[in-house]
Structure 1
Amino acid sequence: MSDTPQTVPYTAADPALAVGTHHAGFTVTKVEPLPELSGMAYVMRHDATGARALWLAIDDNNKSFSIAFKTPPADNTGVFHILEHSVLCGSERFPVKEPFVNLLKTSMQTFLNALTFPDKTMYPVASTNTADLENLMDVYLDAVLQPAIYKRPRIFEQEGWHLELAPAEEGADEKYGPLSYNGVVFNEMKGALSDPDDVLFQAIGSQLFPDSAYGFESGGNPRAIPTLSYEGFLDAHARHYNLANSYTILYGNLDIDRELAFIGERFAQAPVRTAGAPNPLVLQRPVTPALKRIEMATAPENASVGLAYVIGTADQRERVLATDVLLDTLAGSNESPLKRVVLDSGLGDDFSATLIDSELQPQVLFVLKGAKPGVAQRFRELVESACAQMADSGIDRERLSASLAQCEFNLRENDWGSYGDGVALSMQSLASWLYDDERPVDYLRYEDAMDSMRAGLDDGYFERLLRELVCESSHNALVDLVPVQEGSATEEAAELAELRSHMSEAELDHVASEVAALRAEQEAPDSPEDLAKLPQLTVADIEDAPEEAHATKVEAPLPCLYHALPTHKIDYVYHYFGLDDLAFEDLPYVGVLSALLGNLDTASRSAAELDTLVEKNLGNLDFFSETYAADDDLDDARPYLVVGTSALSERIDSAATIPSEVWSSTQFSDTDRMLALLTQKRIALSQYFVGSGHAAAMKRLTAHYAKSAVVAEALGGIDFYFFLKDLLANWDARKDDLRARLDDLSRRIFTSDHVLVSFTGSREDLEAFWKSAGALGLKSFQGQRRSLQVPEPVADDEAFVIPSNVSYVAEGAGARPKVASVGTWQVAARALSFDYLWNEVRVKGGAYGTGFRHTVSQLDQFWSYRDPNVDATLDRYEAAESYLRGWNPSPTELDGYVVSVVAAHDAPAKSRAIARRQDGEHFIGRPATWRADVRDQELAVSAEDVRGAAASLAGLHDSRSLVVFGPREAIEASGTKFLVRDMMDSE
């Protein structure tokens, strides 16, 4: 329900907002219909400052606000990334150290973050509550316009970089140990640039754009970050964070006059700083530099080649969208023609094609992964010759038509994942508006472009586009990434050793005293008076829980769970096949099966024909595994192979027939194709461990105690990864046995014995689905049944060596007696994550992220993300009990925690996500009232309840187990004796 009655439909222009009308100091300059979004766009200028403003008037109660600044970098210091972090560390009107964290702890936000892009910095927030949205706007506007960075230089040291000295070794003659760099952004980027993809992308940018901002690493290169001075940091803010350089975007069903008045009042308070002009963002003239070879300390298997082409400019919306369609046709799957050519060449293990847009000059990036030595030029020649041949002879119309259908499905579905619609659409608007004031909504439209592309299918539209993009390109670059033994970490150590050797004892003392002063500032509590200045809702502001339709069982040929949720004429179908008739040693083969299904020939179609059929008729077709367990039983483990699909309402018959064709008649005879698919799976997993080691560590930590997690590890986790590496290393000897196993598994799994179908969509579509599906061709299994016997979990201290300069550190313990309700733990976890751990592990320790969770099965778990420490972080985890036991919030602070926890509980979600959550609750066996009961517990939490939860953390050091992903040096330097496995070893 809207907070303010809307007298004019959102699909019609409001006469009160006609061009030329004035509203609280803003003048409407343009009104644009948004038929694809059933809304209108009102473009405005702030009269006094020239600030740009846009209201996306769409009937959505999950309202959002963002303010963005054009921030093209002029070097690799990452100054705008450091500013993004730093301005949220206090401001003129809200002089607390971490207002951003305070908002995470106390607001009803549905989105709260800040984002650095290659040419802009954006500060978006969202909430379903108008008062809360205005609170968020108030803090964010003061943060960006009047930040505390001008008065507190140590914010720069904390978020950017500073020098530290380790203690001297016992008995050493020197007063101090080695010198090091620390800082949140510094450590974040050490982690980011441990990823070969990021390193390759940055090298491509420097080649394509030698005279443009896109030639620099906007996040900051750790080799350059320490060259940034505090004065340069302030200068960058003064020149770029001014209202004439800003873009404000409002979204949703809000009272626009009220919000413009609110924003205008804050704009009027903004100081005018005398500074130079912002960094320019200019068009790069076409260049074709010679092959660039870059070396990186990483695993040999991460050798890669990048080939990029600039495709035009941001104002060519249709060209950009058509390029996306073309790339899907050429390289969207292993059966796409260009990808097939590259894979068959043997030049590397995998190939991808990516569109890089939301930049002034969008690009296409082709990447060869697992590249053989010295193949870069041959890769370019192969790609360009294959593209030329397709441009001359024609691209398969069926594949193009299928890619167009897939593109339209994705645009209609409008599912942005964790980003609410308002935040995502605000980002989309900047894809054109940032570069042309006359184009604020180009990337919010697509219908005309789709019509034009369809009309061009038979007149050479896509062939001409391909020829222009690749064959006739005068703006492209080629980069060869070569793995070596030593890299930036060694360079950094040598640089620091050299720096230290020239420092006097007085200079070393100064470094130590500066760190001590920084620590003192970090540890000093905010005054109650300053905390009281932050706007905050109370528990009394919490509205009733939003109503949610519950899943129901319906009569159907097979067991069926039906979700009557609004889906805008898109249907979602999930088939859950139980795996409890398998042996435990079968489970890794289920992981292999999931990776292969949908990518091989079936009895009636080739893999290429199947790929086209799926793209043309379905939104997606995925095969994956999940494991469920009762909340109170660590010995419970119920794994499923899940077949998920979606389709437009008019194609529901395809959702009923295509998946069953795949699971019932896939042919496992093409072992070469299987080898390629599984090699790609291994590459993807190895990159996941480097980029998301905290998530992998938490899953592994749970497997130390819960059988369901042991099963999940075998199906797709670390155990599966090592199984897959061994399988690939012995492929010729094992491929025939693999074929037989997969045939046998398919017969055992895809039966009517243990299947549940979940359907989300209209009742009419449900009936149409079952009319087409029948029993999905499933029959009862007639062979000898097995019984899944899961090994007992083993709680070792494990460390996994990855090619990274930072670590991911997880610590936990087995189940303790229950000392608090689920609702109490939600509040306790938020206090630990956003107060204690944020200050100790992130602010003082320098890790980019950290958190705590208490599972419903009574497991306590800590994690860190891109962390320069191991042992120091563990020490801080183990002091958490003392913090929680002494937690004594004011009534206002406690209210804030409860508000934020309940808001997270009530946060809006897409219908697909709601249905999947309800499916999980069904398998876990939670009662229909479970979520409501937890919400009641959250509302009733007291400080005493939270302090009582500390008993669960007592004696953590003596009962703990650990999982660490990180570089070998950090693991070996730890005082813990780990069971170490190298993820880079070829086994």
Structure 2
Amino acid sequence: FFLPSEERGYCTDFFDTSFNGQRHTWRLKSTSAERALQYQPGHKIHGFTVKEVTVPDLFLTAVKLTHDKTGAQYLHAARDDSNNLFSVQFRTTPMDSTGVPHILEHTVLCGSEKYPCRDPFFKMLNRSLSTFMNAFTASDYTMYPFSTQNGKDFQNLLSVYLDAVFFPCLREQDFWQEGWRLENENPTDPNSPLVFKGVVFNEMKGAFSDNERLYAQHLQNKLYPDHTYSVVSGGEPLAIPDLTWEQLKQFHATHYHPSNARFFTYGDLPLEQHLKQIEEEALSKFERINPNTEVPSQSHWSSPREDHVTCSPDALAPDPARQNTLCVSYLLGDITDTFEGFTLSLLSSLMISGPNSPFYKALIEPKIGTDFSSVVGYDGSTKEASFSIGLQGMAEEDIERVKQIISQTIDDIIENGFEEERIEALLHKIEIQMKHQSTNFGLSLASYIASSWNHDGDPVQLLQISDSVAKFRQSLAENPRFLQDKVKHYFKENTHRLTLSMSPDEAYLEKQAKAEEEKLQKKIQALSDSDRKEIYEKGLELLTAQSKTQDASLQCVPVQYCEQPTNGLVYFRAMCSLNTLPEDLRLYVPLFCSVITRMGCGGLDYRQQAQQMELRTGGMSVSTQVIPDSTQLDMYEQGILLFSSCLERNLPHMFQLWSDIFNSPHFDDEERLRVLVMMSAQELANGISYSGHMYAMTRAGRHLTPAGDLQETFNGMEQVKFMKRIAEMPDLSQVIRTLPRIKKHLLNPDNMRCAVNTTPQKLSDTAAQLESFIRDVAENRKERKPVRSDITEVRFQQAHWVNIPELNFQPCQMKTFFQMPFPVNFVSESIRTVPFSHEDYASLCILARMMTAKFLHGEIREKGGAYGGGARMGGGGLFSFYSYRDPNSVQTLSAFRKGVDWAKSGQFTQQDIDEAKLSIFSAVDSPVAPADKGMGRFLSGVTDEMKQGHRERLFAVTHKNLVDVAERYLSVGQRTCGVAILGPENETIKKDPSWIVK
């Protein structure tokens, strides 16, 4: 899984993303933390020496150690959290764009000395109770993390991970499969043309078809031109075929060594056991080396630079004539300076986040572009941080104007500074994020410290958040121009500044295809007849290996209260029914949800509203909900979900904001609405290349169930096309007239139920505040109908509306092809089966998991070269096949059919079934954060008894059950299915009259 720097989350996101939901209610005097406090600097434990024991923020004890023999670094975060995490990361600094660290990440997971089977990593997905398993390639490190709640499972996974990274097989055949190879288009036909194949090769072709990703990559390469950041760590498609198997093995020998490793463990399992296993199974077998992987500081330029790149035109762009991007990036300081990084990340948020920020006012509101550029804000993922600001979706003639605006805005900030209230709102946000708990705290922690630790920064210092806040307040008190001085130093006076523009080129894809063809022909021309024969024979060998079976109305408002250790936070949700909404308004509902909390309300304009939401809440959002009935396929619940959280002291303020949104939302600001529409349309268009398989699955299910039809309306390609049409409207007055009509039906206490998660001590106060809110909203209904606004208290008892059957819906077959400007396909076939409570549902869940692991993964990824593929059973009764970043289309549909034949033939073992069950159970019983307890019941009406029945049915699934459901629901002739493909031009499909081409 290649994770470029722009997706890892910048340090600004440390408040928004990395620390989103992290702090458990455990006390410091907890078993694991107390045990860790007993360690002393100098202690020797299983070949390691304790260097430091610290109690930073976040209710944990941090223990830093070094391995005596190899110099490997180790950090343990002891915390009373049962979701334990392990991670090992290596500094990987490529000096070319062949993608060697990325291909190596894939290849080490293809078998090791102790586990020589073809794909132990994917097999452990089915044999483990893990809550997370993956691997990431960043610009300058590669990380291998997993988490699990089970101690024995932790030891098993640790054994697999250690053997994978330190003792991989690195077979040539695995390099061909995962990296790149020349192979006959049809491996069984030596006369078919030779083509490039490989999982990473196809993955990166897909990645570079995403213009946002392409721009971010160019920006990093050009801002840091002197060392490893000047190349593509994930691999540039045309450079990948230059990598040899020998080079891959050499990179592993020098980079995947304990002397270049950083180990991180987290949770309530004892540290001693981890150290013992790591020492015995891996580190004791190595001697210390000098890995020589350090990244030098980038030489600072004496004057600013400008550059230009091109991309493919976006057919879904809100305005085809405005597809230019411009961004100015500044090189900042070393990320190992923790306080400076903290300050600059706060400064970044003040400059760009929300409608009150100077750059939002200067760049977004004049509607020069559709949104900020894809890289924006503080990025602390490289050795030296950067800050970027710019626009996408602009006209070419506005480029100079945007440059001037950026320069002028920096001057204005230096002169005027920031309002004290905005700074307080940001610090309030940090307090919220530190208290909010998530189920993946260990993973967030590992990701957060990775970059700084990678360059020998102090990871524990990063966790001293309250120290940084205190130092920040002190610096501001001592020098009121503290932030303005930083802006002047890093932006006004900084000569290491890159201005990068990007514009579409109609011939871009053609040029890319031509360049690939030239590369291919160059390789082919160098081949002798014996080389061609060897390629054919190796292709057959690989195909054989891939095919081998491996071992291994007037009513009360119901409220659900859930008492939880929420650490002083209150979580509020309200579900509002869509049942009374006229059909012609349905397409507008996602837009309504997007703008209702962002246009102002009551006496607040949108800037003031944004400020109050930041000062008083942890965020307020509204989203569409389509919830299939658990007993009948043609019934579902439709609604919108309101969600917010706040510190206990801010309860009255949070409910006042919701009251103003219900009673007097602002819809009449066309200028503001246009800004939001353009941003939303751009976001949807950008998302397709990344989540194309989800769009394909949604479309494939459209004609199979009423819930599937509504999902396509709200979240599918229909919504993407609709928002493009709205964005192209010269006049939005019709939309402005539509929004109040929707509000009348949706923001209505008659059609609402609520849920609150809070501490027992705060329950009565929360109930009183909520009742006041309900009464206020009910009394302000314009109809002035008599409304009972008293609250029915429901403690974990579902108060669910009766779902309405769609009487006119007739399931039917439909095949849809969307031609997209991508070089790869996203393919899906969905089949109507049974709802959640049906006795066959559990068998279909197990079957989907088993087909993915035992058949489809091999056919679609290994043989087909797609980045991913498989099957899943959805709660809405749809059994869906899918592929992701797939060089094939019609062939993949054939692979789906073969998968059904494989299942019907019963050629799988009891062990295969048991592994699929394990994998399913790790999801069924995954940890639930205090904020989310009871949500299954509140949203879908699925009770604990129903979940237990589902568990029992899963346990009881037999070999015969799986063959039976494959025959009964998935066989040709038995099934009602939908098919969808998003991909490049396809003559085969265009000539087939059974396809609808969009």
Could you say whether these structures have the same fold, taking a TM-score greater than 0.5 normalized by the shorter chain as the test? Answer: yes
1:430 deviates by 2.4
Superposition pairs of residues 945-956 of structure 1, within 5 angstroms = 945-951=961-967, 952-955=969-972
CA distance in 2 between partners of 1:956 and 1:377 (Å): 62
Distance 1:272 1:797, change over 3 A: farther
Say whether residues 1:181 and 2:196 are aligned partners. Answer: yes
The one-letter code sitting in structure 2 at the alignment partner of 1:736 is S
Residue 118 (structure 1) aligned to one of 131, 139, 142: 139
Provide structure 1 residue ranges, at least 5 long, that are not aligned to the other structure. Answer: 532-555, 982-987
Residue 91 (structure 2) aligned to one of 47, 70, 85: 70
Distance 1:723 1:16, change over 3 A: closer
Provide structure 2 residue ranges, at least 5 long, that are not aligned to the other structure. Answer: 1-23, 315-319, 786-803
Say whether residues 1:237 and 2:257 are aligned partners. Answer: no
Residue 143 (structure 1) aligned to one of 152, 164, 179: 164
Structure 1 residues 700-709 or 631-640, which shifts more? 631-640
Structure 1 residues 966-975 or 61-70, which shifts more? 966-975
Say whether residues 1:743 and 2:740 are aligned partners. Answer: yes
SS in 1 for 2:383: coil
Distance 1:790 1:726, change over 3 A: farther
Say whether residues 1:381 and 2:404 are aligned partners. Answer: yes
Q: How many residues align?
A: 932
| Contact 2:85 2:146 (C-alpha < 8 Å) held by counterparts | yes
| Contact 1:633 1:857 (C-alpha < 8 Å) held by counterparts | no
Say whether residues 1:337 and 2:358 are aligned partners. Answer: yes
CA distance in 1 between partners of 2:681 and 2:497 (Å): 30
The equivalent of 2:278 in structure 1 is 263
Superposition pairs of residues 496-535 of structure 1, within 5 angstroms = 496-500=520-524, 503-526=527-550, 528=551, 531=552
Say whether residues 1:309 and 2:309 are aligned partners. Answer: no
Superposition pairs of residues 26-175 of structure 1, within 5 angstroms = 26-34=48-56, 36-149=57-170, 152-167=171-186
Residue 881 (structure 2) aligned to one of 862, 873, 876: 862
The equivalent of 1:543 in structure 2 is none
1:276 deviates by 8.4
1:205 deviates by 0.9
CA distance in 1 between partners of 2:155 and 2:426 (Å): 42
| Contact 1:627 1:712 (C-alpha < 8 Å) held by counterparts | yes
| Contact 2:557 2:750 (C-alpha < 8 Å) held by counterparts | no
1:412 deviates by 2.8
| Contact 2:36 2:63 (C-alpha < 8 Å) held by counterparts | no
The equivalent of 1:980 in structure 2 is 997
| Contact 1:13 1:31 (C-alpha < 8 Å) held by counterparts | no
Deviations along 1:246-265, whole A, 9 cap, x unmatched? 11111111122222111110
Say whether residues 1:944 and 2:960 are aligned partners. Answer: yes
1:497 deviates by 4.1
Residue 410 (structure 1) aligned to one of 427, 433, 437: 433
CA distance in 2 between partners of 1:961 and 1:9 (Å): 54
The one-letter code sitting in structure 1 at the alignment partner of 2:274 is E
The one-letter code sitting in structure 2 at the alignment partner of 1:461 is F
Residue 847 (structure 1) aligned to one of 866, 870, 884: 866
Structure 1 residues 507-516 or 240-249, which shifts more? 507-516
The one-letter code sitting in structure 1 at the alignment partner of 2:449 is S
Distance 1:795 1:647, change over 3 A: farther
Residue 491 (structure 1) aligned to one of 503, 515, 527: 515
The one-letter code sitting in structure 2 at the alignment partner of 1:360 is K
Superposition pairs of residues 394-405 of structure 1, within 5 angstroms = 394-405=417-428
CA distance in 2 between partners of 1:957 and 1:123 (Å): 43
Distance 1:268 1:452, change over 3 A: closer
Instruction: Work out the percentage of aligned pairs sharing the same amino acid.
Output: 25
The equivalent of 1:916 in structure 2 is 935
Superposition pairs of residues 203-242 of structure 1, within 5 angstroms = 203-242=218-257
| Contact 1:91 1:146 (C-alpha < 8 Å) held by counterparts | yes
Residue 296 (structure 2) aligned to one of 274, 279, 282: 282
Structure 1 residues 67-76 or 787-796, which shifts more? 787-796
CA distance in 2 between partners of 1:464 and 1:233 (Å): 47
SS in 2 for 1:878: helix
CA distance in 2 between partners of 1:309 and 1:452 (Å): 25
The equivalent of 1:594 in structure 2 is 593
Say whether residues 1:824 and 2:838 are aligned partners. Answer: no
| Contact 1:703 1:793 (C-alpha < 8 Å) held by counterparts | no
CA distance in 2 between partners of 1:351 and 1:904 (Å): 36
| Contact 2:62 2:77 (C-alpha < 8 Å) held by counterparts | yes
1:893 deviates by 4.3
1:94 deviates by 0.9
Residue 441 (structure 2) aligned to one of 414, 421, 430: 421
Say whether residues 1:582 and 2:604 are aligned partners. Answer: no
| Contact 2:623 2:642 (C-alpha < 8 Å) held by counterparts | yes
1:297 deviates by 1.8
Distance 1:781 1:845, change over 3 A: farther
SS in 1 for 2:883: strand
User: With structure 1 as the length reference, what TM-score do the two structures score?
Assistant: 0.89
CA distance in 2 between partners of 1:792 and 1:740 (Å): 33
Distance 1:815 1:958, change over 3 A: closer
Distance 1:467 1:968, change over 3 A: farther
The one-letter code sitting in structure 2 at the alignment partner of 1:215 is S
Superposition pairs of residues 556-571 of structure 1, within 5 angstroms = 558-571=557-570
1:511 deviates by 2.4
Distance 1:189 1:838, change over 3 A: same
SS in 2 for 1:852: strand
1:505 deviates by 4.5
CA distance in 1 between partners of 2:521 and 2:976 (Å): 39
SS in 2 for 1:722: helix
1:810 deviates by 0.4
The equivalent of 2:380 in structure 1 is 357
Residue 39 (structure 2) aligned to one of 1, 14, 17: 17
Residue 901 (structure 2) aligned to one of 864, 869, 882: 882
Distance 1:15 1:411, change over 3 A: closer
| Contact 2:629 2:637 (C-alpha < 8 Å) held by counterparts | no
Residue 432 (structure 1) aligned to one of 452, 459, 476: 452
Distance 1:402 1:236, change over 3 A: same
The equivalent of 1:537 in structure 2 is none
Distance 1:392 1:725, change over 3 A: same
Distance 1:765 1:47, change over 3 A: same
| Contact 2:238 2:519 (C-alpha < 8 Å) held by counterparts | no
Superposition pairs of residues 245-260 of structure 1, within 5 angstroms = 245-260=260-275
The equivalent of 1:540 in structure 2 is none
The one-letter code sitting in structure 1 at the alignment partner of 2:252 is H
Residue 752 (structure 1) aligned to one of 742, 749, 752: 749
SS in 2 for 1:248: strand
SS in 2 for 1:473: coil
| Contact 1:13 1:33 (C-alpha < 8 Å) held by counterparts | no
Deviations along 1:142-180, whole A, 9 cap, x unmatched? 11111011xx211111110111222599xxxx9634432
1:663 deviates by 2.9
| Contact 1:8 1:14 (C-alpha < 8 Å) held by counterparts | no
The one-letter code sitting in structure 1 at the alignment partner of 2:978 is S
CA distance in 1 between partners of 2:401 and 2:437 (Å): 39
Say whether residues 1:474 and 2:495 are aligned partners. Answer: yes
The one-letter code sitting in structure 2 at the alignment partner of 1:815 is T
| Contact 2:696 2:826 (C-alpha < 8 Å) held by counterparts | yes
The one-letter code sitting in structure 2 at the alignment partner of 1:282 is P
The equivalent of 1:931 in structure 2 is 947
Residue 965 (structure 1) aligned to one of 982, 993, 998: 982
Superposition pairs of residues 634-649 of structure 1, within 5 angstroms = 634-649=633-648
| Contact 2:681 2:723 (C-alpha < 8 Å) held by counterparts | yes
CA distance in 1 between partners of 2:203 and 2:893 (Å): 19
User: With structure 2 as the length reference, what TM-score do the two structures score?
Assistant: 0.88
1:756 deviates by 0.7
The CA RMSD over aligned residues, in Å, is 2.8
CA distance in 1 between partners of 2:974 and 2:251 (Å): 45
CA distance in 1 between partners of 2:225 and 2:888 (Å): 36
| Contact 1:710 1:790 (C-alpha < 8 Å) held by counterparts | no
The one-letter code sitting in structure 1 at the alignment partner of 2:680 is K
1:806 deviates by 1.2
